Amino acid sequence: MKKSVLFSIFACFLIQSCSDQKNMKVERTLSPMFEKMSVGLPVAAKEPYEMVAHGDKRIDNYYWMKLSDDQKNATELDAQTQKVVDYLNSENTYKDDLLSHTNGLQDKLYNEIIGRIKQTDMSVPYKKNGYYYLTRYEEGKEYPIHSRKKDNLENEEEILLNVNELAEGFNYYAVGGRSISPNNKILAYGEDTLSRRIYNVKFKDLETGELLDEVIENTTGGVVWANDNKTVFYTRKDDALRSYKIFKHKLGTPVSQDVEIFHEKDETFGTFVYKTKSQKYIVIGSYATLSNEYKYVSADSPDDAFTMFQPRERNLEYSISHFEDKWYVYTNKDGAKNFKLMSCPENATTKENWKDVIAHRDDVLLEGMDIFKDYLVLSERIEGITQLRVIPNEGKEYYIDFEDEAYLTYTTTNLEFDTENLRLGYTSLTTPNSTYDFNMKSKEKTLLKQQEVVGDFDPSLYKSERIMATARDGVKVPISLVYKKGLKKDGNAPCLLYGYGSYGNSMDPYFSSVRLSLLDRGFVFAIAHIRGGQEMGRQWYEDGKFFKKKNTFTDFIDCGKHLVANKYTSSDHLYGMGGSAGGLLIGAVINMEPELWNGVIAAVPFVDVVTTMLDETIPLTTGEYDEWGNPNEKDYYEYMKSYSPYDNVVAQDYPSMLVTTGYHDSQVQYWEPAKWVAKLRELKTDQNPLIMYCDMEAGHGGASGRFKRYKETAMEYAFFLDLEGITE
């Protein structure tokens, strides 16, 4: 249930004082959008459906909107499916009608957004096993071309996949999990044509250019090659889209004869498979929110049995990397809440053999590591900001310096052990994404590529800040924000506050050329680094989950109030935005304090928390118990119900809203936002616009293609710009 998006909408509020907003009477005016309306509001039929848990009865009038995958994908629609499709189409017709007067603005925004994108572009090449690999785009084409050059970049280009050709005839097309055999002769890749993140794996003979006959269906997208160039391991999904089985396939044999290597029977766990950077081992991993387990086998002997690394234990999280004769273990063992780095001998891997390499620190979150022959590079988060720490085998350790106040840095493709060069990425709210080679010995940074913003973009025209809001319990919550210089902090500027706050996912201050369409029209863009993420360490995550989940929502509200109090904006111009679990955030905060927001966007929102978490047939449910709790237990049920947006819609005024979803979404099923919108229409007492857009072709990630996705972005921008009174 994860997605990040960057847009918002507006409604008409009159508030005289930011200090006592909760007690203010709000006068609302009819949105000018309705002056253009020619079709009626969509009306969903009410068909009461009773649900009982722990003696508590809930009535869901819109449960009928839920369809099975078989119903959705059937060639001929049954009556129930047709009823749902007709309703979703009526919502889209209503959206089209209400926004028809913004079509010109939408076109302008779309052309503006894609006009900043360098259409003929190429990634920074990386070298692996004798070849330089690169991805490039051609002008006007939606999809990438993946290619390679042998030995050096001056040699002839070999096209591996032209995704533009593969995507012909499909409304949606995505390639995943590209991997090449150790002898460089066979390419495996996954193909998704439905946007359900279910891939069919295909194999291409790179010497002849022909596809092999064998196709592996229902996978996570990639395969892992053993060193014999014929054995691959892959992961399959169950009906709930949980990665649950690992299979072994031998090229040239029927897929029906593939051997099941591992079955993850615990429904709260998923499984995956990968090859170590050393190329020595194939590793099978099992993961849950609070526990991990790994098994390994020599990549030279793929038919041998896998060896257990360390059996799973509740609350023991770890991951493993191999180098020379050691395993390195990233773990929270012995109460290391912010994680630490340990190591063990290659042939003695259980936890009693683990020894500290980097000890736990209360004020530093260890997020990852990269191992080199003479260096160890740690990815750390200190006071919410990412840092790269270089530890030489000989000499003094140091942090790589960067100048911005708030930024994101990360290691990228580092496939070699014996090198002094570290490939890293860097971006900030005002700095386009940049790729560097950093010499760990000389400390010299070489810029290889910076995202080009086509046109007259000048980073010196924009200013970023990092400020702290005080939450109602006294905790300081960081806010990263950016705006065009010349901003008058008089409360009149529109401000979009974005948040997520779940799964320990940190929302970092990164650059977006798309966002310039807001900044150049006077918007402030702000990110609320609320609890439930991991920006301020592991405890930040722990304090925003289970029975502390409401901290996520109140933090976001308090960040909004801080922006108002400090006159970056006012409630007349404050907007909220979140997607997926961030859509849950938006749904919760507008129930709790609707008068604070002039408008919101909830993208693919997870809003029917209780019903979804009680239904183990829905994708991702059982694996989410360690995030939200298990509502089969009464205490969790009652707490979830107390904040679930769908269950807490009441007869009150709500801000203007735009809700987006995808008919084929596998993470947050379309019926959650559809039911939510129907219930809001039934109960809300205002006359502000409530619009839902359901992409009938796409899933959780939206449309495929490099440019097509920005059609929806332009629609969203035009929607709230129009309500803000900005027409150009």
Q: What is the pLDDT of residue 693?
A: 96
Q: What is the pLDDT of residue 315?
A: 94
User: 2: which strand partners?
Assistant: 580
| Residue percentage of the chain with pLDDT more than 70 | 93
Q: What is the pLDDT of residue 38?
A: 59
| Helix H or strand E segment including 677 | helix 671-683
484 and 621 share one domain: yes
Structural domain span for residue 382:
363-451
Please report, for the domain that includes residue 215, its CATH number.
2.130.10.120
* Domain C-terminal end among 403, 420, 451: 451
Q: Is residue 518 part of a domain?
A: yes
* Confidence class for position 26, pLDDT limits 50, 70, 90: very low
- Indicate if the pLDDT at residue 723 is higher than 60: yes
Q: Report which DSSP code applies to 70.
A: H
- Phi and psi at residue 392, to the nearest 5°: -75, 155
Q: What is the pLDDT of residue 704?
A: 59
490 and 512 share one domain: yes
* Confidence class for position 703, pLDDT limits 50, 70, 90: low
Q: What is the pLDDT of residue 19?
A: 29
574 and 549 share one domain: yes
* Domain C-terminal end among 433, 451, 469: 451
* Confidence class for position 457, pLDDT limits 50, 70, 90: very high
* Confidence class for position 7, pLDDT limits 50, 70, 90: very low
Give the Cα separation of 421 and 414 in Å (integer). 9
Q: What is the pLDDT of residue 196?
A: 74
Average pLDDT value for residue range 227-244: 92
Q: Is residue 2 part of a domain?
A: no
* Confidence class for position 171, pLDDT limits 50, 70, 90: confident
Q: Is residue 164 part of a domain?
A: no
Average pLDDT value for residue range 647-661: 97
- Indicate if the pLDDT at residue 289 is higher than 90: no
530 and 679 share one domain: yes
Please report, for the domain that includes residue 678, its CATH number.
3.40.50.1820
Give the Cα separation of 360 and 340 in Å (integer). 5
Average pLDDT value for residue range 44-50: 96
* Confidence class for position 404, pLDDT limits 50, 70, 90: confident
Q: What is the pLDDT of residue 665?
A: 80
Q: What is the pLDDT of residue 20?
A: 32
* Domain C-terminal end among 316, 350, 373: 316
pTM: 0.86
Average pLDDT value for residue range 382-390: 94
Tell me the H-state helices in 476-580: 516-519, 538-542, 550-565
Pair of tokens at residue 482: 């950016």
pLDDT tens-digit series, residues 60-105: 999 999 998 889 888 899 999 999 999 999 999 999 999 999 999 9
pLDDT top residue among 27 and 318: 318
Residue with tokens 């970049």: 153
Give the Cα separation of 112 and 519 in Å (integer). 13
485 and 439 share one domain: no
Contact 539, 532 (CB under 8 A): no
421 and 439 share one domain: yes
- Indicate if the pLDDT at residue 17 is higher than 70: no
479 and 624 share one domain: yes
Q: Is residue 341 part of a domain?
A: no
- Indicate if the pLDDT at residue 16 is higher than 60: no
- Indicate if the pLDDT at residue 698 is higher than 90: no
User: 370: which strand partners?
Assistant: 377
Q: What is the pLDDT of residue 619?
A: 63
Contact 520, 484 (CB under 8 A): yes
368 and 461 share one domain: no
Q: What is the pLDDT of residue 40?
A: 80
The mean pLDDT value of the chain amounts to 91
Give the Cα separation of 606 and 609 in Å (integer). 7
* Confidence class for position 608, pLDDT limits 50, 70, 90: very high
Q: Is residue 4 part of a domain?
A: no
Q: What is the pLDDT of residue 37?
A: 53
Residues comprising the chain, all counted = 728
Q: Is residue 139 part of a domain?
A: no
447 and 504 share one domain: no
Give the Cα separation of 128 and 419 in Å (integer). 13
392 and 422 share one domain: yes
For the chain, the domain total comes to 3
Q: Is residue 499 part of a domain?
A: yes
Q: Is residue 707 part of a domain?
A: yes
Closest-CA residue to 343 (of 374, 320, 367): 320
311 and 415 share one domain: no
- Indicate if the pLDDT at residue 2 is higher than 60: no
Q: Which residues are catalytic?
A: 580, 665, 700
Q: What is the pLDDT of residue 705?
A: 67
635 and 524 share one domain: yes
